[in-house]
């Protein structure tokens, strides 16, 4: 919807407007309604909105030169508009500067915003304007619109407008500000990650705003069959029957300007890739217990900090497709991951991603390596989900066994295909995971001798995702066991009799 409003800016009216052009436009509108709106204390831009007028005229009007066209008296612009409470008159309390502002033209407000953007130091080639209006004003808008519907519903000019509805305050504000901002920031406005957010708030909380949400202002209609191709919101079907006393429309107590605050930010960028972990002392994510770090580093920090610094972001989130223990190496093709970086000041490119990958891989200590680092969109998440669940995972484990190995052992192990095992939640994670029995499949296994030892061997295995490898090998006090007893004796022979520590079992992930 926001996209459409911006596209229509250039279509609706010629860019430059003089005050006589404005006069002419006002004269073309139905004078009885026009006069009534003026007397209700509605500002000129709100009036144009009510008649469904769009375009850069909003940006061109100078508040100082507006006159009531019907009786040429001074306009409403000196008084606070009863509908928009000054938003479209560029009157507000600036929360940043902590004082009241009263500007005559949209350009002056655009100046304030552009200054802020320059100070924040973002790199951008386009911007997207976001506006937030207090529910109170949307409520006033709704009241006014139903009032207008009842009073002028039968008039031909109104019947014509029913399909188009009125222009929302958000859209009118965008019509006002986008052209000047484009000039000041020297780029076009479009749907893009760099956002400029304008937030209006009001101190008077409103009651009963259930019907009005932040979206599209007051002019809402329940969807009908025809698709609405304009950028406006259709009419509300909530007709207020009862009092049409004008003084009740706009309670004086609410007549205060809004608080206005503005900032800019960038929506997150996502880097995807695969990582390899060469160290047995590096955890996947930052692991600190009681102010003490476990291990010497973490994969997420090694990758995240470099990327964050390079694009000058605020913070990062590391998402990996599965995980491995701190003392398990991750080799082979590497584990897929996505790094989400928030509010980057620079715009990352493919070349940028290549450079960061090089930087990480050229680190002296060679704990972690990154492959195929690139920018990803929402498709990245699908690749991640695939990488987690259904896949088969391959490992190598260095195992010690209490009795010397025989040739039959090697053959028997190789002959087991798609072995079903049942794993109760391992004791080492039982404190934080549910006690469950998980059935897993060991697709194949292969034993390899280790030179100079008859009791050490290398076990290559391919298992279902989610299998606890360490527990499969050492049995976890019998809490991991094959589903069919005929395999039990074989597995019991193979399961290493630990002498107390786990240094006799070293696992490496190879997928």
Partner 1 sequence: MKPRHDQYVYRHANGLCVIGLAPSHVAFKDEGGITAIDFNVGKSDRSGVKVTGKRKKNAQHFESNTALCKVSTKNDSYIVRCCVKGSLLEVNQQLIKQPELLNASADREGYIAIIMPKPADWLKIKASLVSFEEYKKLREVS
CB 50 within 8 A of CB 91: no
Judged by CB under 8 A, which of 366, 433, 446, 483 binds partner 1? Answer: 433
Is residue 64 a contact point for partner 1 (CB under 8 A)?
no
Stretch that binds partner 1, among 148-156, 218-226, 315-323, 471-479 (CB under 8 A): 471-479
Question: Catalytic residue among 325, 418, 476, 485, which?
Answer: 325
Which of 495/507 has CB closer to partner 1? 495
Residue in the structure block whose two tokens are 């919101």: 233
Torsion of CA 95, 97, 103, 105, to 10 degrees: -90
If we measure between CA atoms, which residue out of 268, 283, 88, 76 comes closest to residue 169? Answer: 88
CB of 406 to partner 1, least distance (A): 22
Count interface residues toward partner 1 (CB under 8 A).
13
Judged by CB under 8 A, which of 16, 253, 434, 501 binds partner 1? Answer: 434
- Residue 187 burial by CB count (10 A; 0-12/13-18/19+): exposed, middle or buried? middle
CA dist 166 and 472 (Å) reads 68
CB 392 within 8 A of CB 465: yes
Is residue 428 a contact point for partner 1 (CB under 8 A)?
yes
If we measure between CA atoms, which residue out of 129, 130, 133 comes closest to residue 212? Answer: 133
CB of 113 to partner 1, least distance (A): 48
The contact pattern for partner 1, residues 3-42, with x = CB under 8 A and - = no contact, is: ----------------------------------------
**DSSP state letter for 153:** T
CB of 497 to partner 1, least distance (A): 8
H helical segments located in 296-349: 299-311
CB 335 within 8 A of CB 394: no
- Strand boundaries in 175-223, DSSP class E: 188-189, 194-201
Which of 208/435 has CB closer to partner 1? 435
Which of 305/429 has CB closer to partner 1? 429
Measure CA 61 to chain center: 36
CB of 434 to partner 1, least distance (A): 5
CB of 470 to partner 1, least distance (A): 13
Largest CA distance in the chain: 109
Stretch that binds partner 1, among 135-143, 231-239, 250-258, 425-433 (CB under 8 A): 425-433
CB of 479 to partner 1, least distance (A): 8
**DSSP state letter for 426:** P
Which of 98/431 has CB closer to partner 1? 431
CB of 330 to partner 1, least distance (A): 23
Is residue 280 a contact point for partner 1 (CB under 8 A)?
no
108 counts as catalytic? no
Which of 154/499 has CB closer to partner 1? 499
Coil/strand/helix, residue 34: helix
Residue in the structure block whose two tokens are 């859209």: 171
Stretch that binds partner 1, among 39-47, 151-159, 325-333, 428-436 (CB under 8 A): 428-436
CA dist 9 and 171 (Å) reads 10
Judged by CB under 8 A, which of 267, 477, 483, 503 binds partner 1? Answer: 477
Judged by CB under 8 A, which of 377, 431, 451, 452 binds partner 1? Answer: 431
Judged by CB under 8 A, which of 55, 380, 475, 482 binds partner 1? Answer: 475
* Contacts of 424 by beta carbon, 8 Å cutoff, 6+ apart: 435, 436, 437, 438, 476, 479, 480
CB 348 within 8 A of CB 271: yes
Is residue 486 a contact point for partner 1 (CB under 8 A)?
no
Which residues of this protein are in contact with partner 1, per CB under 8 A?
424, 427-435, 475, 477-478
């Amino acid at each position: 919807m926001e996209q459409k409003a911006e596209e229509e800016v250039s279509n609706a009216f010629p860019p430059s407007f003089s005050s006589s052009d404005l006069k002419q436009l006002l004269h073309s509108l139905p004078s009885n309604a026009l006069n009534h709106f003026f007397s209700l204390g509605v500002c000129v831009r709100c009036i144009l909105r009510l008649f469904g007028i769009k375009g850069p005229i909003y940006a061109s009007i100078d508040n100082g030169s507006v006159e009531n066209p019907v009786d040429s008296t001074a306009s409403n612009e000196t008084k606070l508009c009863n509908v928009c409470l000054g938003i479209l008159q560029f009157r507000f309390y600036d929360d940043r500067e902590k004082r009241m502002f009263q500007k005559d033209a949209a350009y002056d407000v655009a100046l304030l915003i552009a200054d802020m953007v320059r100070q924040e130091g973002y790199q951008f080639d386009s911007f997207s304007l976001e506006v937030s209006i207090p529910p109170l004003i949307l409520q006033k808008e709704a009241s006014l619109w139903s009032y207008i519907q009842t009073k002028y519903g039968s008039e031909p000019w109104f019947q014509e407008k029913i399909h188009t509805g009125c222009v929302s305050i958000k859209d009118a504000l965008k019509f006002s500000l986008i052209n000047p901002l484009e000039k000041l920031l020297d780029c076009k406005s479009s749907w893009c990650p760099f956002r400029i957010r304008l937030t209006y708030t009001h101190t008077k909380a409103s009651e009963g705003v259930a019907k009005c949400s932040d979206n599209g202002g007051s002019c809402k209609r329940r969807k009908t069959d025809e698709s609405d191709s304009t950028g406006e919101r259709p009419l509300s079907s909530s007709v207020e029957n009862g009092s049409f006393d004008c003084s009740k429309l706009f309670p004086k107590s609410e007549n205060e300007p809004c608080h206005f605050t503005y900032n800019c930010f960038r929506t997150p960028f996502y880097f995807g890739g695969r990582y390899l972990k060469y160290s047995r002392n590096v955890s996947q994510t930052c692991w600190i217990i009681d102010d003490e770090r476990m291990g010497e580093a973490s994969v997420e920090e090694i990758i995240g900090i470099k990327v964050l610094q390079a694009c000058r972001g605020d913070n990062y989130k590391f998402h990996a497709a599965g995980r491995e223990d701190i003392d398990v190496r991750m080799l082979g093709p590497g584990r897929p991951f996505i790094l989400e970086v928030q509010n980057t000041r620079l715009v990352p490119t493919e070349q940028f991603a290549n450079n960061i990958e090089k930087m990480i891989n050229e680190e002296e200590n060679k704990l972690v390596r990154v492959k195929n680092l690139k920018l990803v969109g929402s498709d990245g998440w699908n690749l991640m989900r695939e990488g987690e669940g259904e896949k088969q995972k391959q490992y190598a484990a260095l195992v010690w066994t209490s009795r010397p190995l025989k040739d039959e052992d090697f053959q028997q192990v190789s002959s087991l295909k798609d072995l079903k095992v049942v794993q109760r939640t391992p004791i080492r994670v039982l404190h934080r995971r549910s006690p469950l029995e998980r059935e897993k499949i060991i697709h194949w296994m292969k034993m390899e001798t280790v030179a100079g030892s008859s009791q050490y061997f290398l076990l290559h295995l391919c298992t279902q995702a989610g299998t606890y490898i360490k527990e499969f090998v050492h049995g976890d006090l019998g809490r991991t066991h094959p589903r069919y007893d005929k395999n039990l004796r074989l597995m019991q022979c193979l399961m290493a009799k630990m002498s107390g520590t786990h240094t006799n079992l070293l696992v490496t992930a190879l997928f």
